[in-house]
Amino acid sequence: MKKSLVYKILEKHLISGVLIPGNEIAIKIDQTLTQDATGTMAYLQFESIGIDRVKTELSVSYIDHNTLQVGFENADDHRYLQSVAAKFGVYFSRPGNGICHQVHLERFGVPGKTLLGSDSHTPTGGGIGMIAIGAGGLDVAVAMGGGPFYLVTPRIVKTMLAGKLPPMVSAKDIILELLRRLSVKGGVGKIFEYCGEGVQTLTVPERATITNMGAELGATTSIFPSDKVTKQFLKAQNRVQQWKKFQADPDAAYDEEIIIDLNELEPLIARPHQPDNVCKVKEIAGLKINQVNIGSCTNSSYMDLERVAAILRGKTIHPEVSCTISPGSKQVFEMIAKSGALKDLIAAGCRILESACGPCIGMGMAPSSAGISIRTFNRNFEGRSGTRDAGLYLASPEVAAACALKGVVTDPRSLNETIEIPTPKRFILNDNMIVTPPEDGNKIDIIRGPNIKPLPEFRPLPNKIEAKVILKTKDNITTDHIMPAGAKILPLRSNIPAISQHVFEVIDVTFPLRMKEAGGGVVIGGENYGQGSSREHAALAPKYLGLTAVITKSFARIHFANLINFGILPLTFTNPEDYNKIEQEDLFIIENVRDILQNKKQLIARIPAKNLEIPLVYKLSDRQVKIILAGGLLNYTRESSQL
């Protein structure tokens, strides 16, 4: 059978299962990445497994999220991460070296390899031809220990790119167009494989912008072929020896097909508060803005910033706009300094931030009250910026630069400029901020600050669940709603007792207290529950508070897996209309849970006060059932000797 690129790579890494959509498979992981907001917990989990050395081909620990050091917590986590990396054989990317996805693309990504990262935007690696998947930190810890990664075989979407982008229309507009068509849940259970003549017109960084933000579709990942463009990029990074050609067979079979005519695209923008709330820039042109933020793992490459500098050269940022630039990596920073682009940005009035995630995750640069912020980022969830009533708009670097100049939403085509930035033949290479681990880490002492608390111990699932509905939520509840990020909360990622006091505070600040008073409980959700980040804290912290089960209309992929990993039962309604019959504070009773799961029987929840019986669905593999019964993946891994 003619094979897609995805199936070719998955077949080479298949450990168990059959590549049929809907079937659970296990694949070998070649590389892993972590970042400091998720990495501390991931390495605490790796330590608890009891393995002396990582067993992957390559693992890298990045510092890029918690770089705003207003107390000792972040700095202590960084010391822990550097010491644990040295002990267990992990490369360590120091603070200031750049955003994990940008640096990994530049210095470590290899076509045809598998990459698992404790960050939902790990699919950025698909821009260089990898199967790159975001997951919870515990899944990454197991993979570092040599364990397989389990996933449901996705449907493969052939995404045909025809034609060529017009001037001032960018790769960001391609993924915004997909989000406009498909929504934030349109990619659940799917991998988007790009092909067609338009692919050859896109550089690797442009491809990476698309695969990065494919995460907002809910997709498992996205991938471009490894071709002559990929080879050129790797050659410019002095890594051409790692290039291999990977592409689909002609007439390969796919489950779905989408065609995007690049010639017809216009500059697009995502309005608050979801990445799929997309319209044409010209439809809201003239809207007054207060802030522009250019950077993030989506749009902080050398080519992106050169285009911005070209638009701003010789001009001045609007006096009522604050404009920031976050270079994606030290390499990007050095190159725009050498080319003169950095001088142009500074002269125009841009505020230059460090090479880190920064404003994208609420680490500084919160907008003013009710401020309008134009961002080249990937998410615009309510409250994510640090300002609850701010309006966040997602757009390309070209749109952002035009808006910064005019002080209002502006279609960059109105500037009447044509900008051509050639791909560098050689990137500046200086890996002095990447620490190579010693061959023997036995003598390395792990450094732990006082904010780093031991992993909570969780008990096996009881045979009877009797708990109140502590919270009922709507559709598209994100992990930012469940476990917020930002400068105040991110430093607590290694302290579960402390961070658990912030669970659901965006929706209901009383949630932790009410969970404590009730002795635990369940949560009811709508469609696409757990959308967004891979942060396992959105499962781990609620579990610590006593969350037993989450019952929804549907789940986002990574959060569903994270709930299982921490022994929380993820259930869906057999009849979605039953959602309307449940109210907050209702008492739920589910009898014989363990027996039902083990014997694959129908699960019924009772609400005695309403004389209701509600049938529920558990979409769990036999392996996932065992994990739930054991009280989580760590317990299961220890008990079953999976590594």
Higher pLDDT, 66 or 523: 523
Mean pLDDT estimate for the chain: 94
Residue 471 has pLDDT above 80, yes or no: yes
The tens digit of pLDDT for each residue in 274-323 reads 999 999 999 999 999 999 999 999 999 999 999 999 999 999 999 999 99
Buried b or exposed e, range 523-537, using 16+ CB within 10 angstroms: bbbbbbbbbbbbbbb
**Annotation says 535 is catalytic:** yes
- Per annotation, catalytic residue among 78, 273, 379, 384: 379
CB 352 within 8 A of CB 342: yes
- Per annotation, catalytic residue among 180, 271, 375, 535: 535
CA distances from 407 to 168, 291, 530, 613 (A): 18, 9, 35, 56
- Per annotation, catalytic residue among 533, 554, 578, 586: 533
* Spatial separation of the C-alpha atoms in residues 225 and 36, rounded to whole Å: 30
Q: What is the DSSP letter of 627?
A: H
The tens digit of pLDDT for each residue in 180-228 reads 999 999 999 999 999 999 999 999 999 999 999 999 999 999 999 999 9
- Per annotation, catalytic residue among 119, 139, 344, 586: 119
Extract the runs of DSSP E, i.e. beta strands, from 204-355.
Answer: 221-223, 256-261, 268-270, 278-280, 291-294, 322-325, 351-352
**Annotation says 379 is catalytic:** yes
The tens digit of pLDDT for each residue in 564-609 reads 999 999 999 999 999 999 999 999 999 999 999 999 899 999 999 9
What per-residue confidence (pLDDT) applies to 642? 58
Res. 420 pLDDT band, cuts 50 70 90: confident
Res. 122 pLDDT band, cuts 50 70 90: very high
CB 543 within 8 A of CB 567: yes
- Per annotation, catalytic residue among 13, 65, 107, 273: 65
Q: Which token pair is 561?
A: 């897996």
Residue 479 CB-half CA count within 13 A: 28
**Annotation says 351 is catalytic:** no
Is 311 buried (19+), middle (13-18) or exposed (0-12) by CB count in 10 A? buried
All structural domains of the chain, each given as residue ranges with its CATH number in brackets, are: 5-264 (3.30.499.10), 268-411 (3.30.499.10), 465-640 (3.20.19.10)
Res. 262 pLDDT band, cuts 50 70 90: very high
The tens digit of pLDDT for each residue in 29-51 reads 999 999 998 999 999 999 988 89
Pair type for strands 24-27 and 149-152 = antiparallel
The tens digit of pLDDT for each residue in 385-416 reads 888 899 999 999 999 999 999 999 999 999 98
What per-residue confidence (pLDDT) applies to 634? 87
DSSP assignment of 176-226: HHHHHHH-TTTTBTEEEEEESGGGGGS-HHHHHHHHHHGGGGTBSEEE--B
Q: Write down the pTM of the prediction.
A: 0.92
Residue 342 has pLDDT above 70, yes or no: yes
Q: Measured over all CA atoms, what is the biggest interatomic distance in the chain, rounded to whole angstroms?
A: 72
Res. 641 pLDDT band, cuts 50 70 90: low
Residues 6+ apart with CB under 8 A from 387: 366, 367, 368, 369, 371
Residue 527 has pLDDT above 80, yes or no: yes
Percent of the chain predicted with pLDDT > 70: 99
Residues 97-119 have a mean pLDDT of 97
**Annotation says 79 is catalytic:** no
Q: Which token pair is 21?
A: 């959509």
* Spatial separation of the C-alpha atoms in residues 643 and 641, rounded to whole Å: 6
The tens digit of pLDDT for each residue in 472-520 reads 999 999 999 999 888 888 888 889 999 999 999 989 999 999 999 999 9
Residue 559 backbone phi and psi in degrees, to 5? -65, -40
| Pick from 537, 527, 460: nearest CA to 503 | 537
Residue 640 has pLDDT above 80, yes or no: no
Is 642 buried (19+), middle (13-18) or exposed (0-12) by CB count in 10 A? middle
